[in-house]
Chain A
Amino acid sequence: MTEARHIRVTGLVQGVGFRPFVWRLARELELAGWVRNDAAGVEIAAEGETRQLDILIDRLRREAPPLARVEDVCAVSAPARGHGDFVIAASGGGAVTTAIGQDTGLCGDCLDELFKPADRRWRHPFITCTHCGPRYTLTRRLPYDRANTSLVEFPLCPDCKTEYTDPGNRRFHAETLCCPNCGPQLQLLNPAGGPLPGDAIVATLDLLQRGAIVAIKGLGGFHLVCDARNANVVARLRERKAREEKPFAVMAANAASFLPFANCDAAAQALLQAPARPVVLLPKAGIELAGIAPGIQWLGAMLPATPIQWLLFHEAAGRPAGTDWLRDPQSLLLVMTSANPGGEPLVTGNNEALQRLSGIADAFLLHDRDILLRCDDSVMRVSASGPAFLRRARGYTPCPIKLPLSGPSVLALGAALKNTLCITRGDEAFVSAHIGDLDNAATCTFLEETVEHLSGILDVRPEALACDLHPDFHSTRLAHALAERWNLPLIQVQHHHAHLAALAVEHGVSDTLIGCALDGVGLGSDGTPWGGELLSVDDDGSFARLGHLTCLPLPGGDRAAREPWRMAAAVLHRLGRGDEIALRYAAHPAAAQLNTLLERGINAPLTSSLGRVFDAAAALLGLCDNTSFEGQAAMLLEGCAARHSGALRIWGQSWHIEKNQLSLLPLLARLAEWDGSREEAAARFHLTLAHALVDWISALAPAARTVAFGGGCCLNAILTRHLSVLLEDSGRRGLFARQLPPNDGGISLGQAWVALQRIVQCGKR
């Protein structure tokens, strides 16, 4: 029997080769009609045999192209029009609800062409197709059409036009399609902006191999690049980046090339090769690359994402034909660190690069395809519970996270450090890419631009706002200003409540959740700095504080977070050993009077933070007195623990629970006394801490079958591994962050969810 169907497909179905896929499918099934994009997604009119129509609908979902994400296929009967053929029709109008795709690394087909001398795109730095390449970072607005991308500047040549209009071609309607004849041009410039002679790739590689630092334009911003095996240039890069000690990420042609330096199991390899091309933290093993990640147990590794990056490795390998060379380890190893001088947002523009990176880069590899949206590299790790984020950005935004229920659109502005924002639309939450630390004007402005851009491409108007309780976060102030400007309700959410609410969303928990926020400092509901909290998070947007870590003073406020020796001093003071402070930390001028400060309690607020306990532990073991970046002391402690081999025992009787508070003071006393190997002490600290936490949770929430763990301390892989094992041993399950980082990068989702729950709750009453 012949009949007709009108089919709507929603989700991420534009710019991913969906229409040619439908076209091929319809032809194969001998159906007539048309397919077109509209603002809601893809619209199909198909007529033919009933059975064939049913197969079409089934296969639409099951065989969708690699980058597509089908949310819904909705088919209704329609009158047959007697179409003779199946065609791809022009786009329709309507409200915008479809999405822009994420940026992805080169696909296998494009890689083959890139290295095939006979191909017209051999060594073409901008090769891409419907299945790969940039999306989010070069799209100005919806709908996703070439005219709305930065490729609008580059009209297609006749050859490209043919590919673009042929539904049988892999580049049919590939909006970022181009070729050497019609595409952007690569250029290597000196710091004065003058062109350097020769083939840009050859010359860049030559500079890198001779120890130069080159700024290279990537997908979402510039990287500073140098030879990772050359300790001198690595040291020079650190010096020019203002003496930072932060670890650098390293890029190699393939996973095998990392093996002399780090372990890379199958799961890590799969993550490295994921289309998103994140930086993957590999456990170091073997040769230490000098200056790359001093003292830290992880090597940040990534594989080439852009053709430009691929071409550098291809050139270093001697410009081989084909891809066989990628089976073997390659010697070229490049530092690829985000070019964001002084902690400001990533550099994206050509002139901006020449200005802001002058004095850092010796040369600039640029092109004239503009980056329209800044997007940092994502950073991930394989954890006990699967791949986990440390930073979620390029390759993953703007993919939505499903909410347990649908509600009005909420805009949540996040915390102050590692800021992200979140906008909800229906039952989807869109978390922005990593925005940065809101301590400089450029990052604060970037947050505001991101509000505009993300609400623009999602075509939503927020109906409520959410933010932290801290009055001095720029995000909080912006939320107040927007609430006033747009006349919207503002819901302020306690920091650790938000950490755990984000986990509730991720794990689809819709009733009460017992969770532990293991964090640095966040402002508590009582105005004091919290950070080691056991909370019961309810589904109505409220929470109860079941218990917290016994407080330690924070001598000098935030200064104690930057100077872990102060936390060690706070512990010694609490242990009645304050007179040791001056001697132990004699290198610090302030040490002589710190005990007096602690005794009088001057600017030494009490905090229940676990992050500061880690700081104290690292400093008591002499691993880290002062930090140059957030979380450094805890990372060094974790790195030290990872180097321990041999038996591992807990320290018995080194914690106690009183009035719902967990005191870790006896554990810290062990460290203060320790004179054995630091590796052993660090390892035992992690294990004992996990035991103490689980003991405490069992005492305070004996009925909880699942326990969520959020907060910055959950970036510590050793701690989270111990926690999940211990919980499993006692027949319970630990919930950890998977879709977002456990640190403040995930706060905005939690804020949005709490706000949404409260709004829904209000509606019920």
Chain B
Amino acid sequence: MNALDLQHGRVDLSHGSGGRAMAQLIAQLFTREFDNEFLAQGDDGARLPHTEGRLVLTTDSHVVSPLFFPGGDIGCLSVHGCINDIAVMGAQPLYLTAGFILEEGFPLADLGRIVASMAQAAREAGVLVVAGDTKVVEQGKADGVFITTAGLGVLREGVDLSGANARPGDAILVSGMLGDHGMAVLSKRENMDFGTTLLSDTAALHRLIARMLDAVPGIHVLRDPTRGGVATTLNEIATQSGVGMLIEEAKLPLRPQVAAGCELLGLDPLYIANEGKLVAICAAADAQGLLAAMRADPLGANADIIGTVGERDPHCFVQMRTSLGGLRVVDWLAGEQLPRIC
């Protein structure tokens, strides 16, 4: 059997057949990139060393169009997304697994770039990809590549982070500029630019979070506002905690390009996805300390306090004081934003 043509070759159904072609793909592409002793065992599962502490396990599926976008691609996104889900639990991420669903005809060169990007993201984050799986589906049954990652981490002692922990009077913080990822992907997909090039914010947040927990071990809530944006995340937390919230429009960190893009498209940046940002909620007394710790990290340089947790509220209304001084409910939408002005 010939070596894979990683420059001009394409994925075919045999690469998912379980036969030799698949073994070759795995050996030449995946094992080489993710190179580590656990993957090298070559068995059906990875045998991992004994670890002290409570474990956190999570899984995350990734679909994005386009697969390559300014600031990243589906590969690093799938690593960061999984790491961040572990990290916002207050855990140190250790191991990942990756499952690929490939569309027949997908260029092997693109797959190579994606896998390399995953490997680099994992290396930089200090986590190991220890197991994987590949399936191929007929042309038209998928959109290039879908990646599912699962991750294992070990929980830090003494943290108690949960969406149910927001208390009246708490401060609400975000770690930086909002909406970069969603707008970067959208601008690439629709081939529109909103001024200077906008990069996705995709990043692994566990080191920032470690700093934050060093400074304020008693943070109440951490969450990464991915799909549905900050608006959806705040509503989830408000509902879990049974409280209202009030945020200030003027305090939302926004890049001018994101603001301009949202303005043009009539989108609300609060609903745009982020892939390297977090929402933190802590006691008001801890807010300045937490903010300082966040700003000391490159990923939190633009962090700010954007609002406060209100009283216990059966409606769990998240409200925003607009720049004109009015109040409006930041809704938890049923799905897509439908026009409603009569």
Residues of A within 8 A of B (CB): 242-243, 341-344, 415-418, 439-442, 444-445, 470-474, 495, 519-523, 529, 531, 554-562, 589-590, 593-594, 596-597, 600, 602-603, 605, 607, 611, 630, 712, 743-744
Contacts and interface: CB of A to CB of B under 8 A. Distances in A.
B264 to A, nearest CB: 4
A472 B330 CA distance: 11
A444 B329 contact: yes
B254 to A, nearest CB: 15
B341 A593 contact: no
B326 A417 contact: no
B342 interface: yes
Contacts of B52: none
A593 B192 contact: yes
Contacts, number: 115
Nearest to A566: B266
Contacts of A417: 340-342
Given A440-B329, A444-B329, A743-B342, 11 more contacts: A242-B325, A441-B244, A470-B338, A472-B338, A472-B340, A521-B342, A558-B339, A558-B340, A589-B263, A602-B192, A603-B265
A590 B263 contact: yes
Interface in B296-342: 315, 317, 319, 324-329, 331, 333-335, 337-342
Contacts of B64: none
A600 B186 CA distance: 12
Contacts of A560: 266
Contacts of B328: 439-440
Nearest to A588: B263
Given A470-B340, A556-B265, A630-B341, A441 B319 contact: yes
A342 B329 contact: no
24 contacts: A242-B325, A341-B325, A342-B327, A343-B326, A440-B319, A440-B329, A441-B315, A441-B327, A441-B329, A442-B327, A444-B317, A472-B334, A472-B338, A473-B340, A523-B338, A529-B339, A558-B339, A558-B341, A593-B192, A594-B264, A597-B265, A602-B190, A611-B342, A712-B342
Q: B267, B325, B341 — which one has the most chain A CB atoms within 10 A of its CB? A: B341
B342 A596 contact: no
A744 B264 contact: no
Interface in B60-82: none
Nearest to B341: A561
Contact of A603 (B267, B335, B340): B267
B325 to A, nearest CB: 5
A415 B329 contact: no
Contact of A605 (B260, B264, B319, B339): B339
A439 B340 CA distance: 11
A134 to B, nearest CB: 29
A498 B264 CA distance: 33
Contact of A495 (B265, B331, B341, B342): B342
Contacts of B317: 441, 444
Contacts of B331: 472
A607 B327 contact: no
B327 A440 contact: yes
B145 to A, nearest CB: 24
Contacts of B334: 471-472
Q: A470, A589, A602 — which one has the most chain B CB atoms within 10 A of its CB? A: A602
Contacts of A242: 324-326
A602 B342 contact: no
A521 B339 CA distance: 7
Contacts of A557: 266, 337-339
B341 A597 contact: no
Contacts of B335: 471
Interface in B242-279: 244, 260, 263-267
Nearest to A611: B342
Contacts of A343: 326
A415 B266 contact: no
A390 to B, nearest CB: 14
